[in-house]
Chains A and B, each alone.
Chain A
């Protein structure tokens, strides 16, 4: 006799599921960013390692503690806060004092994520919230790029271990990032250097090649919407291409624009964050064009050399509106919008 009569479990269909879950998607995003992290440490040395490690530990601990304090089960198991930690670390200058890294991380996760309701409810990219706060609070520290120390694994920039609330002292000569160099001195770096990341900049924004490989990995595993980076980069390329054609002296070339600053990192790993981007294909296209145009606008005419962070944050803010405009056209109905 079949013995299951007692144990029969009843659940509603479907009785099978696709294999990847949120945790596996998030874990793969972390994997995709690892090469960028390793390379950043290789280029910038011990200081970059400490910035990255501190940011990840801070973010994970903050989320864990907030969950615990509020008597909920910890949510760090979904890996999303690890992504935040890694991304946040990658956007910081490698010589940033560690106490600032901690402060920004706590605020990013606490305010940018937890207050909004946690994973899935945050409006803004959590890592960028952290960076934006630091940018506002410590503009000097956030835009100081010391030359890598001669012995980058054996010594640290003195700023790294600066005491909280003191003004960090920089020993090396500050070198401008390619974008600042171009903006303020009209000097454009070699595309090859930009592509391989052998120039100064934030910890992770330098090597376009590794960022692209990470992105391709995620797209191949269907864990990332390829439209977002592709459309952002295409928008930037087209807009700056037109400008460059008009006046090559004043406007940098599209290749320079694509591979300098945080554009690659932002387009591939931040703008594509599912939570902050629209849900429909056409929605993501609008969102990506918006971000691309804002990047060009801020870089070319804004007061700062870099605009990716603000462009993505504004894109995040526009997402709910875009989502309500672009609803899928339901089969068998003739209106594009849901009948209201």
Chain B
């Protein structure tokens, strides 16, 4: 109800959502620093949603930093570049964040190398066609750096019969602890502005809104200062709220448009890209370079030298933690933010293009979360008030306990849940709601696949 009132007074926001402590003070003042090279970098072929890239160099090959080492396999795939000058020691299986083994390059950087970056033919937004820009982005290996890992060129491709009028550049960074987008906006506002013409050219959009949460006033100021006079860009400062960075929430807050259930921003004429992704495009394309490193917040209570680091893709978690130093009672390492990030099952997994943060917790925090007692649902409605999609997590939770997955999907819109975790965060009964929904979604997908297979017989 208050959100509706705020809207009346011109405050741009979306309804519901939560206010977790933003925990950004430790790192938001810290400028981006280059991280050293690990002795061995592990670069998986697949760092994005879609088909894994196809390796184009073999074991024993000497590679140059920035050189393409795997090429895209079809439209839903992007290239992979060497994060360092060195030698490919082997190509073998490596654990991914979810514990599954996937193939990757094991690259040993040359310690004596100057680590000069390989550049290629530049692609410029005013001369290149829309198609050329999209394929340049694909060959530069750019995926959504906000964490989802969706190939950026695929996202920017406007399908036949649809049109896009607005671009939203997502600099909300609503996850607690993460400050990479903040620092990129502050330190590389120019790159963001250089990236935007590519996006405009590729999509045909007319206007651009850069969304920044109000806890980053310096970033908003830096962006405004860098605004080019000849481009239709505005910078909007949004009230701090989680999950502001979700596309549906941004589109609602900024444009008042509601993306249909199961649809994309495209369905209401909008494309959203992460601000870091935009900055990379502005940095890489004029130089003909590929994506070989990214900015990551290394923080959390268990990390000693917290900071925002530019880290080569493929750097193993263990190396990162050893370099920054950790508290003795470190218990959990989260890849990404604490609301949606996944806990690492091994320290051998490495940084990929989708990694936004490495946040480590000690027993003090995780113990509290692990040991909390689960009560029955008291129908307090906190989850209903928190869910930004207006689901009824209480009802869904009760159905999940009874394994009534069909009802959850058919009558209570389970598929619309994007697992933001707001409901679980607020539930005073400490019911692991979103965890139950993940299980339910997987079960219903399985049941559907089975039904489809039966039907095909």
Inter-chain CA distance A309–B43, complex, in Å, is 68
Does B366 lie at the interface of the complex (its beta carbon under 8 Å from any beta carbon of A)?
yes
Segment at the interface with A among B26-34, B194-202, B281-289, B344-352: B344-352
In the complex the two chains form, is A12's CB within 8 Å of B343's CB? yes
Q: Mark B357-376, 1 if CB is under 8 A from A, else 0.
A: 00101000110111011011
Does residue B326 face the partner (Cβ distance < 8 Å to A)? yes
Q: Which residues of B contact A4 (CB under 8 A)?
A: 321, 326, 330-331, 333, 347
A330-B390 contact given A16-B20, A225-B381, A339-B411, CB 8 Å threshold: yes
* A154 at interface, CB cutoff 8 A: no
> Would you call B261 and A333 a contact (CB within 8 A)?
yes
- Contact status of A274 and B248, CB under 8 A, knowing A2-B322, A4-B330, A338-B412: no
Q: From A11, A118, A281, give the contact of B376 (CB < 8 A).
A: A118
B443 within 8 Å of A (CB atoms): no
Least CB distance, A87 to chain B, in whole angstroms: 16
Is A14 touching B378 in the complex (CB atoms < 8 A)?
A: no
Taken together as a complex, chains A and B put the C-alpha atoms of A329 and B390 apart, in Å, by 6
Please judge, given known A-B contacts A16-B176, A78-B375, A279-B384, whether A21 and B428 are in contact too, CB under 8 Å.
Answer: yes
Bits for B312-339, please: 1 = Cβ < 8 Å to A, else 0.
0000001001100010101111100011
User: CB < 8 Å: which of B340, B381, B391 contacts A13?
Assistant: B340
Contact of B438 among A12, A328, A333 (CB under 8 A): A12
CA distance A15 to B367 in the complex (A): 11
Q: For the complex, what is the distance from the CA of A12 to the CA of B99, rounded to whole Å?
A: 13
What's the least CB distance linking B23 to chain A, in Å? Answer: 8
Q: Mark B276-304, 1 if CB is under 8 A from A, else 0.
A: 00000000000000000000000000000
Minimum distance in angstroms from A324 CB to a CB of chain B: 9
List of B residues within 8 angstroms of A25 by Cβ: 380, 428
- Number of residue pairs spanning A and B whose beta carbons lie under 8 angstroms apart: 192
- B90 at interface by CB-CB < 8 Å: no
User: In the complex, are the beta carbons of A332 and B384 less than 8 A apart?
Assistant: no
Residues in B whose Cβ lies below 8 Å from that of A15: 332, 334, 338-339, 341, 343, 359, 361, 365-366, 369
Residue of A nearest to B324 (CB): A2
Answer whether residue B259 sits at the interface, using C-beta atoms and an 8 A cutoff. yes
How many residues belonging to B are interface residues under a CB distance threshold of 8 Å?
75
Q: Is A151 an interface residue, CB under 8 A from the partner?
A: no
Cα A20 to Cα B18 with chains together (Å) = 14
A331 near B389: Cβ-Cβ < 8 Å? yes
A121: Cβ under 8 A from any B Cβ: yes
List the one stretch of B110-118, B150-158, B209-217, B418-426 in contact with chain A.
Answer: B418-426
B370 near A11: Cβ-Cβ < 8 Å: yes
Q: Say yes or no for B451: interface residue by CB 8 A criterion.
A: no
B434 within 8 A of A: yes
CA distance A273 to B344 in the complex (A): 41
Q: Which of B399-415 contact A (CB under 8 A)?
A: 410-413
B232 beta carbon closer than 8 Å to chain A: no
Q: Which of B318, B333, B359, B428: most chain A Cβ within 10 A?
A: B428
Interface code A280-299, partner B: CB below 8 Å = 1, 0 otherwise? 11001000000000000000
Q: Is the CB of B378 within 8 A of A274?
A: yes
Kindly identify, within residues 107 to 154 of chain A, every residue whose CB is under 8 Å from any CB belonging to chain B: 117-121
Closest CB of chain B to A173's CB: distance in Å? Answer: 44
Task: Say yes or no for B416: interface residue by CB 8 A criterion.
Answer: yes
Interface assignment of B207: CB less than 8 Å from any CB of chain A? no
> Are A14 and B376 in touch, CB under 8 angstroms?
no
The complex places the Cα of A159 from the Cα of B432 at a distance, in Å, of 50
Structural contact, B370 and A16, CB atoms closer than 8 A:
no
Q: Does A165 contact B (CB under 8 A)?
A: no
CA distance A15 to B343 in the complex (A): 9
Chain A residues with CB under 8 Å of B412's CB are: 327, 338
A22 to B430, CA, bound (A): 8
Contacting residues, chain A, for B444 (C-beta < 8 A): none
State how many residues of chain A have any CB contact under 8 Å with chain B: 49
Q: Check: A166 CB closer than 8 A to any chain B CB.
A: no
Closest to B430 in A: A21
Q: How far is the CB of B245 from the nearest CB of chain A, in Å?
A: 15
Contact with B333, one of A8, A225, A328, A339 (Cβ below 8 angstroms): A8
Given the contacts A8-B345, A12-B343, A279-B381, A331 and B372 also touching, CB distance less than 8 Å: no
Residue in B closest to A12 when the chains form the complex, CB atoms: B435
Asked whether, in the complex, the Cβ of A14 is within 8 Å of the Cβ of B340, the reply is: yes
- B395 contact set on A, CB distance < 8 A: 279, 323, 327
Kindly state whether residue A70 has any CB partner on chain B within 8 Å: no
Report how far A279 CA is from B385 CA in the complex, Å. Answer: 9
Contact, CB under 8 Å: A328 / B384: yes
Mask, A305-340, CB within 8 Å of B = 1, is: 000000000000000000100011111110000111
User: Would A10 and B332 be within 8 Å (CB), given that A16-B176, A120-B376, A120-B429 are in contact?
Assistant: yes
**Which 8 residue pairs spanning A and B have beta carbons closest together?**
A120-B376, A14-B421, A332-B261, A15-B338, A328-B390, A2-B321, A22-B375, A331-B389
- 14 additional contacts (CB under 8 A) given A15-B334, A23-B375: A2-B322, A4-B321, A4-B333, A8-B333, A9-B366, A13-B334, A14-B339, A14-B424, A17-B430, A22-B428, A24-B428, A120-B379, A331-B389, A340-B410
Give the interface of A toward B (CB within 8 A).
1-5, 7-18, 20-25, 78, 80, 117-121, 225, 274-275, 277, 279-281, 284, 323, 327-333, 338-340
B residues in contact (CB < 8 Å) with A: 1, 18, 20-21, 176, 248, 252, 258-263, 318, 321-322, 326, 328, 330-334, 338-347, 359, 361, 365-366, 368-370, 372-373, 375-381, 384-385, 387-392, 394-395, 410-413, 416, 421, 424-426, 428-430, 432, 434-435, 438
30 A–B contacts from the bound complex (CB under 8 Å): A2-B321, A3-B330, A4-B330, A4-B331, A5-B318, A5-B346, A8-B332, A13-B339, A13-B434, A14-B339, A15-B359, A16-B176, A17-B368, A17-B425, A21-B428, A22-B375, A23-B375, A119-B375, A120-B377, A120-B378, A274-B379, A280-B392, A281-B1, A323-B395, A330-B416, A332-B258, A332-B260, A338-B413, A339-B411, A340-B410
